[in-house]
Amino acid sequence: MLKCQPATSNLNVSSRLKSVIRELKPLQKALLSENVDPRILNDFRDALNRVRNTAWAAQQSLAAKQLGEGQVDVATLLAAERVRAAFQLCRSVGEDLTSDDVAFQKGQLSELHGAATRLVEQLKERL
């Protein structure tokens, strides 16, 4: 749950965010014009997605608090977003599996099946 931080901490985070934004703008141009190691690019995209989701959840939590709706736990918002994304991905993968135009590797499908099976068992415990 987000806790109220001293104003100096909020200023520090705001200042750091502004600094990161200034750094990302030229990086965006460099990404379009240079060859980048795909593994590093993938890690970078994953990190950006985590930060983006966390920023969204923090913003939602702050908005709820400002609107007098009480404090909303950021971890709960992030979990809800992951459930929403998983639902969408499951539907998309299901559609892909019925398409003759999409080729899957058996290893990938086996890994997905294992993860999905474990998730189904965990869901059964919660429902």
pTM for the whole thing? Answer: 0.61
Q: Containing domain of residue 80, as a range?
A: 73-127
**Confidence band for 114, pLDDT divided at 50, 70 and 90:** very high
pLDDT score at 9: 63
Give dist(CA 82, CA 88) in Å, integer.
Answer: 10
Count: domains in the chain: 2
Same domain, 60 and 37: yes
Residue 1, domain member (yes or no): no
Average pLDDT over residues 120-127: 95
* Same domain as 40, residue 14: yes
Reduce the DSSP state of residue 73 to 3 states and report it. Answer: coil
DSSP 3-state of 95: helix
In this structure, the answer to whether residues 16 and 68 fall within a common structural domain is yes
What pLDDT is stored for residue 35 in this prediction? 85
The pair of three-digit structure tokens given for residue 31, joined into one six-digit string = 């990404």
Which residue in this structure is represented by tokens 């460099």? 30
Max intra-chain CA distance, the chain: 57
> Taking 80 as the threshold, does the pLDDT of residue 59 lie above it?
yes
User: Is 90 exceeded by the pLDDT of residue 36?
Assistant: no
Residue 4 lies in a domain: no
Whether 54 and 86 share a structural domain: no
pLDDT of residue 3: 46
